Amino acid sequence: MDFGCNFAVVDVPTFSELKARNTAVADLYVSGSLEVSADTDTGRVNDNFVFWHGYGDRWWVERNGVAVYASSSSTDTVAVARVGEFMVHQRRGGLIRLGRSFVPRDLFGPRSLLARRTRVQHGARRPKAVQHNGRPAWSVEVTSSTATTVMVFDEETAIIVELSSPDHENSLSLVDMEVHTDLPASRFVWNGHAVEAGESPTFGMS
């Protein structure tokens, strides 16, 4: 007997599955605007990043309207990052700091904040289906020994699109996210002046 009722079966991922997908993202063409609000050792930070990411760890990142990082991943160019007033060649493999809190590279990939965190984290509850800026997503409350954090993952890509915590006032939100089939190589190339780096492989942002 058919009562005319159709129920969709939703496969709810675990936090571990979302984390694995998130840290495995590498070859995605994506762009977006990241809004960051956080307390740091030097005061409150309210940053806006606009970024593009492409196959082969290619990036173009702007912070508050100023280019701060470009990586074209080609053999004849070197990634550059802003240090003070200058774009500096990154010829040595070290930590590149693009801001004082969350930055676009925290959102996904092998260097994402989930990949770097050493404290054991658990999903306190099953992820909940939500919408983030019109896109299907999963919201999950994550606990560790020091804090509880709510993370929202884009359903299609597993990118972190929102993060907040009742334990502190740090937050991020990814808006205007767009997944592309391709992006031109020129999108990731810095054509301006750049200088050579100093001895230290670690650079900070002002």
pLDDT at residue 125 in the model: 78
Q: How far is the C-alpha of 73 from the C-alpha of 79, rounded, in Å?
A: 7
Average pLDDT over every residue of 14-21: 94
Q: pTM, whole model, 2 decimals?
A: 0.84
Q: How far is CA 15 from CA 35, 125, 146, in A?
A: 24, 9, 18
pLDDT (tens digit per residue) in 146-204: 778 899 999 999 999 999 987 778 899 999 999 999 999 999 999 999 998 764 444 44
- Asked if 127 and 108 count as a contact pair (C-beta separation under 8 A), the reply is no
Average pLDDT over every residue of 112-118: 81
Fold designation for 15-188: outer membrane lipoprotein receptor (LolB), chain A (2.50.20)
pLDDT at residue 39 in the model: 83
Task: Pick the more confident residue, 178 or 45.
Answer: 178
Domain boundaries, the chain: 15-188
Q: Report the mean per-residue pLDDT for the chain.
A: 85
Task: Pull the structure tokens for residue 175.
Answer: 């808006």
